[in-house]
Each structure stands twice: as C-alpha cells, then as structure tokens.
Amino acid sequence: MRDFLKKNKTRLLAGTGLVFTLYFAGTVTDANANRYASLLPAFFSFLFYIKLSSEKNRTLSKQEGRLLLFMTVLFSLISSLADIELYLYPDSDYIAYSRRLFFPLSAVFTWFGTLNHLYYKFITITTPRNEKTVSNRSSLISSFLSPFILLSSESLLYLFLAVYPGSLTRDSFTQIGQIITGVYTDHHPFAHTLLVSLFLNIGRSLFGNINSGVALYCIFQLFVQAAVFSFGIMTLRQSGISRFKCSMMTAAYALVPFYCMFSVTVWKDVLFADSVLLFIISLFRITRHLGKDKINLFLFLISGIGFGVFRSNGAYALVLTFIVFFLVFIKKEKRIVAICFTALLLSLSWKSVIRNVFDVTPPDMAEVFSIPEQQIAACIADGIPFSEDEKALIAKAADFDEIGAVYTPGVSDPVKNLIRSYDGNDAIEADKSAYLKLWFDVGKRAPLTYLKSWILQTRGYWNAGYTHWVTAAGITMDNDYEIKNAPLIPLLHSLAEIMGNVLESSIFCSIGLAFWIVVICAGFSFISHRRGAIIPAMCVPLISIIATLLIATPIFGELRYAYALYTSLPFIAAIAVSSDAS
C-alpha cells in the first residue's frame, strides 16, 4: 500500500484536487456573486490538476514553493472569509459542519492549483529578441500621440454626442452646491472642488451658462486621462516592450467602456486615479533611468501630491506607500524616498491649510466612523444585548431601535443619514473616547457579528464576484442649477445608460478580481525576481488604497473608489508579463 501511494502520489493529488475544485466551484456560486469572476480560480485549478495527472510539471525551488504556498494560504483565507455566510448561518447543522470543514479545504486545493498553473505560465514568458529600448525622439512622440489622439477623440465624441455637458451624480452636485454657496467641506476633497470651480467660473464668464463650465471641466479631465494613459504607453515602448503589447494596452483603454465614461464624469476619483498611475509610471522611469531624471522626479512629486489630495483616503494610502518605499529604496534610491516624503508632507500640510485659512469643514463623524457604526448597528439588528448606559449613549447620536431597523449590510448610508438626521455628529464629536470605548466593549461581546459586518462591508474590494452600480451616463438627478443633458444624438444617451447597466454584471468591473491580479503580479514578480523589486513596489500604492478602504469604506464595492487599480493595472501587467528587455 505504501509503495502504491508513493508511486501514484501525483495522480492521487491531482484527483483529490479535481474533486475539491469542483466542490469549490459548486459552493462559491451559491453566494450572492458574479459567478463568472468567482469561477475563474476553479477554471485555472482544473487545468492544473488535469495536466498534473498526465505529465510532470517543472520542479520548483524550495523558495518558490514556500512563497507560492504563502500566496495559496492568503487567497484561501480571502475566499473563505468573503463567503462566510455560506457556512456561518446555513440552513441546517449538517450543511454548517460540512461547509466549515470542506469549503476552506476546497479553497486551499483550488488556489494551490490556480497559482501553480498561472506561475508556470508566468515564468515561461519570454521576450522576443527584436524587443529593444526605443530612444528615437520621433518614435517616442509617435508612441505618445497615436494613443492620445485615439483616446481623447473617443472621449470627446462620447461627451458631445451622448452626454453633453458631462455625467454628474449626487456627489458632483454636492460639490457644485459648495461652489455656488461658498460654504465648503472636505468631505469631497477641497482641491478637486477648487478645480471644478475654476472651470465653472470660466464657462459662466465666457459663455454665460454653467453647462459650458461643466463641459470645460470634462474636456480638461478627459485630456488629462488620455495624456497619462499615453505617457504610460510611451514609457513601455521606451523600456523595450513590444509594439504589440503597447497596442493591446491602447486597445484595453479604448474598448473597455468605463474608461471613456469615467473620463467625462465630474468625480474626484478620476483625477486621483490618473495621479496614482502617473506616480507609478514616474517610479518606473526613475528606477529604469528612462528619459530625463529631472522631469521624472518632478512628475513623481506632482503626481504624489495629487495622490495625497484628490481623495480623502489618499493621504493615508500615501503614508503606507512611503513606509514601504522607505524600507525598499532607502539604500539604493534615496531620491524616491525623499520626494515621496515631500509629497506626503505637502499633502498633509494642504489639509491643515484649507481648514485654518479657507475655513473648510472636515468630514463629519458619521463619515469617519462609518465601519464602526455599521458594526454596532449590526449588533442591534442581531439582538445583541446592550446595557442601559450603552443604549443611552447611542440614543444621543440616533434612536437605538431605528439604527437596527435601517441597518443595511454592505451599505452604511442609511445609518449615517439617520445619525445626521438626529444631529448625532455633535454628540460623537463631543465625546469620541466614550463612543470608541462603546465600540470596543460591544465588540468583545459580539466579535463574530463585528467580523461578519466588516466582511459584508468591504469584501467587494478584496474578493471577486460582487456586482454594484459602476458609473453614470449623463445627469442622474434633478437639480437647481439648470444643468441638464443636451447631447447631439439623444439615442446615444439612451444607449450609454444601457451600457451603464450592462457594466454592473461585467467581469471587468469586479474590483476584487482586479485586486487579485495586482497581488498576483506583485507576488509572482517577487518570487521569480523579474525586474527586481520594481513590480512589487509599483503595486504598493494600489494595495495601500485598498487597505485604507478596508477601514473606512461606506459601501462594499464602489468601482470609482478603486478606479486607480483599473487605470494602473494595464501598465503594471504589461511590464510583469515581459522579461527584462531593458
């Protein structure tokens, strides 16, 4: 028997892996998820175990094996936690016990197969011999202008033909309301509100109406996005990436609809994501010594400031990025550390300046403590006992029973708005330490409820397969500012609205899937030492952004909050799948 097992251990592993992969595929699609994104790991795992049963795979080194095992454990934990409701409160005890045992185990086998299959493919990628660095000035200009003209023309046509003067949502109108009234808050970054204000004022001065101002801002934004995308494509050609891969990157930006749709939407998230991509491009150029150093360093600084000021969580993500960059680059690239620190210092100073000089109000407490509020609300809804003193403290912020009634897993707006309707922000602001103690004390009594609430509130950012509204197509609400859509071809506006609905269920819009790809690019590049440490370093800002969302997101999976992953991923992936041509 021992000899039989030893002789056939590979086939037995393959058979066991196939069984557990099928169990994973059948179980994970029971969750409220986009089955196509959820089934991708099962697909790749199935391919691995089929191949393993029929032929011998390349032997990995001990270091490669350990690191792939670490990634397997990480992704298995992600899958097991994200679908916690499958086995936490199931229909029967039998299902409960079976899923608690077999689902995590099936996740391990599935991710082991997936990561090994993808890693084998990754390490066999080679660069054709004719891939050389491009330094000819005219070639570089052409590699910038061609995608720039294509992408900006596409967005301009979409703007004027389908959604003129642009796409605006409730957040957009909140910022415009601040501009009109002159009463500002930093709930939406003041730097972005000022920028919108500049174009609104120009439009009203030159053309006498606010619609023109909105259109001017959208034109500015779409040109910025096209320029940053094209600069990334030019950088790839300059570093020796093939024309074909650069063309594929251009095609991705041109053909995936939300890039064009976001480019004409009045959101701070667009310029933030463009800043993050430029930050990553500049980092790559500095470390690879592409182009003029002074220009690269200047772009690194400017984009770092945009990273820090164009989203509320940007400065905190920049803090995490700086810490990692300090550890990685302090010995070999002190300039990167110094400029990243300067950008961080200027970003934090900006927040202080606007609040003291411009009298800008910071975000309210209901927004800041969004996730703790959700966790306490979940406990109320689940009937966790509270002391009279705790109920009295909660009642100062909002009615105790109403909090439990309005609690919506994954979306904090109902609880936040209830607190605001009771003027509860003042109570929380006046006694923050008491409310933090309340949160801690309740958490000790109901850790599982806290964990479940946090998972439901954040899992769209770290696990694939959750659908949500993606983007607007035109103006989404009535307003008092006479801003209205007047496209040249109204039929295209209707088609754009349909496309917005289609995107909700698209695999391209699974934030968790994008996050998986970022982590896999970083992990595989680190394991294989491809291009040194630069690819993992380029992924750090994106992982930091997701990390900050895990402590303060108001919704379980809003694509615009993670739009930086989508702007940056084509650039990082193109480098990751190319061997070192430079």
pLDDT digit string, tens, across residues 460-502: 999 988 878 888 898 988 888 889 999 999 999 899 888 888 8
pLDDT band at 167 (very low <50, low <70, confident <90, very high): very high
pLDDT at 76 over 90: yes
pLDDT in tens, 7-50: 566 777 788 899 889 888 887 765 555 556 778 899 999 999 98
pLDDT at 223 over 70: yes
pLDDT band at 99 (very low <50, low <70, confident <90, very high): confident
pLDDT at 88 over 70: no
Return d(Cα 84, Cα 451) in angstroms, integer: 10
Q: How far lies 200's CA from each of 190, 467, 473, in Å?
A: 15, 34, 20
Q: Which residue has the higher pLDDT, 518 or 121?
A: 518
Percentage of the chain lying above the pLDDT 90 cut: 66
Asked which of 44-53, 131-140, 388-397 is least confident by mean pLDDT, the reply is 131-140
What secondary structure letter does DSSP report for 162? Answer: I
pLDDT band at 87 (very low <50, low <70, confident <90, very high): low
Length reported for the chain: 582
pLDDT at 356 over 90: no
Among 103, 277, 276, 211, which residue's Cα sits nearest to residue 486? 211
Instruction: Name residue 56's amino acid.
Output: K
Q: Which long-range contacts (CB under 8 A, 24 or more apart) does 63-72 make?
A: 63/527, 64/119, 64/527, 64/528, 67/523, 67/526, 67/527, 68/115, 68/116, 68/119, 68/527, 69/112, 71/111, 71/115, 71/519, 71/520, 71/523, 72/108, 72/111, 72/112, 72/115
Percentage of the chain lying above the pLDDT 70 cut: 92
pTM: 0.93
pLDDT band at 507 (very low <50, low <70, confident <90, very high): confident
Contact 581, 439 (CB under 8 A): no
Instruction: Say what the pLDDT of residue 129 is.
Output: 45
Q: Is 109 helix (H, G, I), strand (E, B) or coil?
A: helix
SS3 track for 12-58: HHHHHHHHHHHHHHHHHCCCCCCHHHHHHHHHHHHHHHHHHHHCCCC
pLDDT at 124 over 90: no
pLDDT at 78 over 50: yes
Mean pLDDT, the chain, as a whole number? Answer: 89
